[in-house]
Amino acid sequence: MPLIEQIMADDPRLPPLERQVVDVMEKHPQYLFRKDKKADLQELRAWMQAPHTPEPPLSLIDHKVQPISILEHTLVSLHHKRAIGCLDINDYLCYGSHEAIKNAKKSLIAKGTEVIELLPSQANGSETNGLELAV
């Protein structure tokens, strides 16, 4: 009988690259990654090469390994599949594990900051470009 982790690792919804991104995010729930910040995506890419390091391994950042745009699309895809969460913080779309999103919301609310969580839209082709606000 397979373990829960094995079943999740064999998830047919997630290609290997997406599974790798989710694994990194779940191992580091204190981090969020801004989709429109090249430095955040470079750190995510480096962490994917060394996922067990406690901090993003900046020494592994290599601009030739994988285009950053692939990671931008991967974050959006994972969010639409509900594998990760997304917050709008200071006009940046910030992606992270569900635990990271929960922790960020709690911290921001405690500081009196308005929190906007974006959820994948149930309706295809909506005017919100596939996103809707959480209530």
Give 42-97 pLDDT, tens digit per residue: 889 888 888 888 888 877 666 555 567 889 999 999 999 999 999 998 889 999 99
Report which secondary-structure segment, H or E, holds 37.
none
Q: How many helices (H) and strands (E) does the chain have?
A: 5, 5
What mean pLDDT value characterizes the chain? Answer: 81
d(CA 86, CA 96): 7
Asked whether 56 and 46 are in contact (CB, 8 A), the reply is yes
- Four-residue CA torsion sign, 103, 85, 119, 6: negative
pLDDT at 126 over 50: no
Q: Can you give the residue ranges of every domain in the chain?
A: 4-133
Q: How confident is the model at residue 113 (pLDDT cuts 50, 70, 90)?
A: confident
Report yes or no: 34 and 94 within 8 Å, Cβ to Cβ. Answer: yes
* pTM of the full structure: 0.76
Give the pLDDT score at 124.
37
- All residues at 6 or more sequence positions from 27 whose CB lies less than 8 Å from its CB, including other chains: 51, 52
